[in-house]
Every structure is written in C-alpha cells, then in structure tokens.
Structure 1
Amino acid sequence: MNSPDHQVKTAFFKTLPRPARIRVLELLSHREYSVAETLPDVGIEKTNLSQQLAVLRRAALVTARREGSTVHYSLAGLHVAELPDIARRILSGVLTEQIGLLDDLRDPAHSAVRPQAVDGG
C-alpha cells in the first residue's frame, strides 16, 4: 500500500491544499503572469505569493521565466490547466448529491425509501 507510486501521488496532492495555489493555477490557465500581475487577484502578500509559487514550481506544476528583474510564471503543461476544472466538476457532483439528501431529509415525501404497508392478511 505504501508504494513509490502512492508516495509520489500523495506528495503531488499535498501541493494543492492552499487557496492561493489553486487561484494561481486558475489564473495561469489563461496566460502567463508575473508575480506583480497576480498579486491583486490572489490577495496575499508578495512574499507569501512567492513562497506559494516556489512550492508549485518544485512540484513541476508551473515554470518560471526571467525577463530582466521580472519573473513570469506559466503552467508546466496543458493537463495542469485542467486541475481546477476537474476539481470543480467533482465538487459539483458531490454537492448535488448532498443537496438531494438534504431535500430528502427536509421533505419525507421526496424520500426514495418509503415505509411499506403491512399486509394484515
């Protein structure tokens, strides 16, 4: 169960749990950005953003290109751009199921499981 494959996948998923990292991936799915360009959309301090970008770079999710004193970031591949969308689709399905369950709890008439009549025969 603790195969190298599982360890690599676990390390990969550990790079994603910060909202700033997800937001950066969403932004970079549209175009290349410099750190200064991403600051207003990510909403964290420059130092913190640089740290988050470094984590994404070490995980090979983003690449960096220096132009003078400016560093521009882009996604490391097309599949990386799909990550936020895939997560959104998965969560949408989960939440849709939960809403259905909530509706059933609120209105027993909606429930798929209805009590059976007892045959007195």
Structure 2
Amino acid sequence: MNQNIQQFKADFFKALAHPMRIQILEALCTGDKTVNELQTIVGSEGSAVSQQLSILRSKNVVQGVKEGTSVIYSLRDPLIQDLLAVAKQIFDNHLVDAISLLEGMRNEPESIKHLD
C-alpha cells in the first residue's frame, strides 16, 4: 500500500514538473478557464497549452467540461491551491535563507573575504 502512495505522489509531482503547467494551475486557482483564456494568460500558442493541459488531464490534476464549442478547464481538487501556496512559502523560505547568507557575507571584514 505504501508503495502505491509513493508511486502516486511521484506521478503527481511529475505532472506538475513543468513551468507552463504550474502557470496553468495558478491561473485555474482563480477560476475556471477556456483554452483561449489560458493561452492569453500563459502567453503561448494553443498547441503548447493544449499539450500541457493534456498531461494535467491524464494525471487527473485538471478536468475539462465541454460547453458548446469550448472546453472549460478547472482544478480537479481545490487542495492543489494549497499545494501551490505551500510551494511558494518554501521558495520564500529558501530566498530568505539565501538573502541572509549574502548579507552575512557582505558584513564580513574584507580580510576574511579574500581568504577563499
């Protein structure tokens, strides 16, 4: 059972492992969108957005519902919003650590900086 969960997690994170897919998910956090709306937000052509949506759909991260001639995409699970927020917090924490390290290096006396 534990191995199944680990495999699910690995597959799930692989589905998220592309900047455009993250951008699409962040856009969907604000509400359902058509492919055309996502193209505008992402700033990419339709085939690239459709390809990334296909990957997200195949991993059950997003869902599409046909309305007339359009497909409206939405997050399959609202917890994805929380996951993206936590990822941003982790990034912010790493950024704060990097800034602290740089500030510490800037505050070192010149004689110590040249020892490296």
After TM superposition, the score normalised by the length of structure 1 is: 0.82
Gaps of 5+ in 2: 110-116
After superposition, the C-alpha distances for 1:78-105 in whole angstroms (9 at most, x for unaligned) are 1012222111111000110111111111
After superposition, the C-alpha distances for 1:3-33 in whole angstroms (9 at most, x for unaligned) are 3322221111111121111111111111110
Alignment of 1:54 onto 2:45: no
C-alpha RMSD of matched pairs (Å): 1.6
- Give the drift of 1:58: 1.3
3-state SS in 2 of match to 1:71: strand
3-state SS in 2 of match to 1:77: coil
Report the counterpart of residue 28 of structure 1 in structure 2: 28
Report the counterpart of residue 17 of structure 1 in structure 2: 17
C-alpha separation between the residues in 2 aligned to 1:82 and 1:44? Answer: 26
Structure 1 counterpart of 2:72, one-letter code: H
Structure with bigger helix share is 2
Gaps of 5+ in 1: 110-121
Tell me the matched-pair count.
Answer: 108
Query: Residues 106-121 of structure 1 correspond to what in structure 2 (within 5 A)?
Result: 106-108=106-108
C-alpha separation between the residues in 2 aligned to 1:18 and 1:70? Answer: 25
After superposition, the C-alpha distances for 1:19-70 in whole angstroms (9 at most, x for unaligned) are 1111111111111100011111101110110010011111111111001221
Report the counterpart of residue 65 of structure 1 in structure 2: 65
Query: Residues 83-98 of structure 1 correspond to what in structure 2 (within 5 A)?
Result: 83-98=83-98
The structure number with the bigger radius of gyration is: 1
Structure 2 counterpart of 1:39, one-letter code: Q
Report the counterpart of residue 75 of structure 2 in structure 1: 75
